[in-house]
Amino acid sequence: MKRWRFSLSQLLDNHTIAAWTFLAPALVLLGLFIIWPIVYLFYLSFTAGSFTSKGIYWVGLKNYWRLLLNSDFWQVLFNTAYFTLGTVIPSLVIPLGLAVLLNRVLPWRGILRSFYFLPSIISLVAAGLGFRWLFQNTGPVNGMLEFFGVPPISWLGDTFWAMPVLILFSIWKQIGFNMVVFLAGLQAISSTLYEAAELDGAGDWQQFWHITLPGLRPTLIFATVTTSIFAFRSFEPVYVITGGGPLNSTNLLVYYTYQEAFAQFDFGYAAAVASVLLVITLLLVYFQLQTWGRG
């Protein structure tokens, strides 16, 4: 068995000292603002009480057991899965199609790219208030439906329609960002590949399937992961547009955590919910990286 031996001189050589000197500020910030909060979150999930004179106390797995037996949590988990799937798939397919089209419309690419990217830079709260106004009972959407003879719909007061409104808002916010990312990825693919494919008689669909998609694999990985994280951490749309209603039908895990922590002051249970959300997100990202990263 090969043995590794490190002398003090090896540990303190100029290159090692320089490396640790440059890494130290980033490691300190990483530990202070990311690692330590995560460790404290897991610790808090095994406690109960509040940050008062009584303090918190250890309860073990009681919060996780409560979580498993709570029907509201399972409904929120289902809502989050529904919202994430409804957001991620269109937020990848639509921007990819727009990017392919814009990559060919060279004279208008800059203007159209700015137009589609505009929602991404608008405040989530401001945009959410705008959507709430559009879909209220007396809002422009129902006014347009009435113009065409369609009865008005209680978009935000109906358990069936409230979630699609949130999903539409989330897609609208994410399309521009993903489109710009895909457009940058398309421009990195060599045009000689398409020229060679045309000489071989390949059609547009064959070029897209055999050249564009393989060439966009790293971009697709990035867009899928970032969009999934964006969907899982969505809080502002729920807070501004629906408030988790009606009948808890649009309550998502982040908003549910906020309610338990800052409305019910049940910080231990809220930490358990947040821990589950963190684990689910990490597993989802790992699965996506393993799936898209093959080949």
Q: Is 151 left (phi over 0), alpha (psi -120 to 50) or beta?
A: beta
CA distances to 5, 109, 181, 199, 283 from 194, rounded to whole Å, are: 54, 20, 20, 9, 37
| Mean per-residue pLDDT over the chain, rounded | 87
- Write the pLDDT tens digit of every residue in 155-203: 999 999 999 999 999 999 999 999 999 988 988 888 888 888 888 787 8
Which residues share a beta bridge with 56?
A: 49
The percentage of residues in the chain with a pLDDT greater than 90, rounded to a whole number, is 50
Radius of gyration from C-alpha coordinates of the chain: 25
- Please name the residue that has the structure tokens 């109906």: 158
In 45-123, alpha helices (H): 62-69, 71-102, 109-117
User: So what's the pLDDT on residue 2?
Assistant: 47
Q: Report how far apart, in Å, the C-alpha atoms of 276 and of each of 67, 251, 269 are.
A: 10, 16, 11
Which superfamily does 68-293 belong to?
MetI-like (1.10.3720.10)
Instruction: Name which of 10-24, 120-134, 236-250 the model is least confident about.
Output: 10-24
pLDDT at position 14, please?
66
Cis amide linkage into residue 246, ω under 30° from 0 = yes
- Please give the pLDDT value at position 93: 94
pTM (two decimals): 0.87
Q: Is the pLDDT of residue 10 over 60?
A: no
Q: With 60 as the cut, is the pLDDT of residue 5 above it?
A: no
| Tally of residues, the chain | 295
Give residue 135's identity as a one-letter amino acid code: F
Closest CA to 181 of 254, 92, 255, 243: 92
Residue among 277, 172, 275 nearest 229 (CA)? 277
Q: pLDDT at position 1, please?
A: 45
The domain segmentation of the chain, as residue ranges, is: 8-58, 68-293
- In the numeric block, the tokens 């969505």 are attached to 234
Scanning the structure block, which residue is given the tokens 């060919």?
104
Whether the pLDDT of residue 105 is over 70: the answer is no
Task: State pLDDT tens for residues 56-95.
Answer: 888 989 999 999 999 999 999 999 999 999 999 999 999 9
Residue 250: the pLDDT is 95
